[in-house]
Amino acid sequence: MIAAVKRRFFPVEPVLPGYRQPKNALWIRLRNFIFIGTLIFVGLFYGLMSAIFPVFLYMYMAMPLVIIAGAVIWALPNTDRFPERSIEAFFWIFLFAQLLWPNYIALALPGLPWITINRLVTAPLALLFLYSMSVAPRLRTQIRDVLINTPIVTRCFLGLLALQLFTLPASTEIADSFNKTIDQQIQWNLVFFVSCFVFTKDGRARKFFVLYPWLVIFLCAMSVFEWKQSAVLWADHIPAILAVGDESVQRVLQGTARAATGIYRVQSIFTTSLNFAEVMAWSTPFFVYWGLYAKRIPIRVASLLFLAPLFWCIRNTDSRLGAVGFFATFIVYFGIYGIRRWTRTRGDILGPAITLSFPLAGSMFFLATFVSNSFHAIIFGNGAQAASNEGRALQWASLWPKLGSWPFGYGTGRGAETIGSMNLAGVLTIDSYYINLLIEYGVIGFLCWLGIILGSAANAVKWSMRETSEEARMLTVMATYMIVYFIIKGVLAGDESNAICYMILGMIAGTAWRIKQRLEGHAPAIPA
């Protein structure tokens, strides 16, 4: 009786030769029914939500699809082959995009985030890298070994990453904080891990040291024309499809001038002149390096001579932080250079001379700022910068009550709103990245950031002392970069160039790992 009912209502379908009929046809049909029913329900649900929800929530509706895609990638079998060259290619394209294209010129579709050049590059980079991490044990092992070689930096990095997620519930605008947190994971943290991998390869650090100065030279050349025109070069030439109507973008395209002097402040591809001055100051040690170590004399001379137009570009930003970073480069770099030469070159008198004269040189520099009125104005400012000084002091005064009431952070992107400080244009602003970190991620987050930056600088100095190779000398430049970055961030909260910092953080970790491998005999030595 039961068999007759099964044959009547669940007939056995014919199968091709070489195949066999599933034993439990009832379960197969039930499973198919559940699968098709789920698809219909999901389709109806998404259709209903598309009709009810506003457009800007559409990307959150895609989260289940992202989770499913992640699960599929995670379930893929292991392999020794992964898109290694493509990952590296997108990494270098990202570097070019950071320094050659204004990130505020983008596609702005209704209800969606701006489709910037950075997002167009980091999206495939993220997909390729996450796929490779899932299927390639060699990649996972290599990145793990690099991170283990820098334990303090790694712990601080993971601690700050956890705080970025932990502080989300405390945010007054959770959706905005979530969006900014995702951007930071992709454009900063992901870039750091990719850098850890890229710079474990032979010659990649040198490639960066060659490309980066040329990109800076291009920025300086553009700033000359901007200075002559006293306006953003492309302000009136942006195609309609790339023109973002946001008020902040319009302010950027109008350019800026200091209220007390009326002098135009060059900003190049960046949103403010301060960010441009910051990048120029960071770039100084690269030209000093090639001025000392380039194999060809003309390149040495050209690198040292270019320091003058580099400083001229910084002066055209009317920014004290750029000038401070420029001069701090020489103090920090030659201090590390003297110590390294003293420890690595026996019988040499130049290393001890530079090291022992370091306190005197610093004192003379400080004294010069009081002897020369013009030099004092460059470093400490004058009456024209009084409003900026007062605003920064008020922000620090506003920080402590907020930090005392909740020392665990108010969420990503909530710094300016929480402090409540406004500039002369009536726009919420923060002048110090230290304040921004303390407000957004609390005291622990700030300490983690200190561990990342200063720990990486210390790690670079440590491994630069172990060898006389070219990569060891380059670590001296990377350490200088990190210290100058730390100094500048005391008076600049802008983070649009932080991706370059995360690249160099990864370069320090990858280069230090390469030196360790050579010292342990796992890799051939590189000539000095």
- Domain boundaries along the sequence of the chain: 146-519
* Helix/strand/coil for 265: strand
Rg (CA), the chain: 28
Q: Which residue has the tokens 């947190």?
A: 181
Model's pTM, two decimal places? 0.85
Indicate left, alpha or beta for 413 from its phi (over 0: left) and psi (-120 to 50: alpha). Answer: left
Residue 61 pLDDT = 66
Q: In angstroms, rounded to a whole number, what is the distance separating the alpha carbons of residues 478 and 209? A: 10
Phi, psi of 314 (to 5 degrees): -65, -40
Give ∠ CA 161-116-165 in degrees, rounded to 5.
Answer: 15
Q: Which residue has the tokens 């000392």?
A: 292
The maximal CA–CA distance of the chain, rounded, in angstroms, is 110
Of 354, 300, 301, the residue nearest 331 (C-alpha): 354
CB 466 within 8 A of CB 519: yes
Q: Which residues pair with 422 in a beta bridge?
A: 428
* Helix/strand/coil for 219: helix
CB 484 within 8 A of CB 321: no
Of 338, 358, 332, the residue nearest 482 (C-alpha): 332
CB 280 within 8 A of CB 270: no
Q: In angstroms, rounded to a whole number, what is the distance separating the alpha carbons of residues 250 and 205? A: 38
Exposure string over 297-310, b if 16+ CB within 10 A, otherwise e: eeeeeebeebbeeb
Exposure string over 135-159, b if 16+ CB within 10 A, otherwise e: bbeebeebbeebbebbeebbebbeb
DSSP structure string for 8-55:
HHSPPPP--TT----S-HHHHHHHHHHHHHHHHHHHHHHHHHHHHS-G
Positions of E strands within 54-196: none
Tokens representing residue 1 in the block:
């009786």
Q: In angstroms, rounded to a whole number, what is the distance separating the alpha carbons of residues 200 and 450? A: 24
* Helix/strand/coil for 257: strand
Q: In angstroms, rounded to a whole number, what is the distance separating the alpha carbons of residues 228 and 48? A: 56
Residue 527 pLDDT = 46
Residue 528 pLDDT = 46
**Based on the number of CB atoms within 10 Å of its own CB, is 75 exposed (0-12), middle (13-18) or buried (19 or more)?**
exposed
Of 504, 520, 370, 510, the residue nearest 95 (C-alpha): 504
Torsion of CA 126, 131, 137, 143, to 10 degrees: 0
Tokens representing residue 235 in the block:
């302000």
Residue pLDDT tens, the chain, 528 long: 555 555 555 555 565 555 555 566 677 778 788 888 888 887 787 777 767 766 556 666 666 766 777 777 777 777 778 889 999 999 999 999 999 988 888 887 766 677 888 888 998 999 899 889 888 888 999 999 999 999 999 999 999 999 888 888 888 788 788 888 888 888 899 999 999 999 999 999 999 999 999 999 999 999 999 998 888 888 888 887 887 777 778 888 888 877 666 788 898 989 888 899 999 998 999 999 999 999 899 999 999 999 999 999 998 888 888 888 898 888 888 888 888 877 777 666 776 777 767 677 767 766 665 555 555 556 565 555 556 667 777 888 888 888 888 888 888 888 778 777 766 666 677 888 898 899 989 899 999 999 999 999 999 999 998 888 899 999 999 999 999 999 999 888 888 889 999 999 999 999 999 999 998 876 555 444
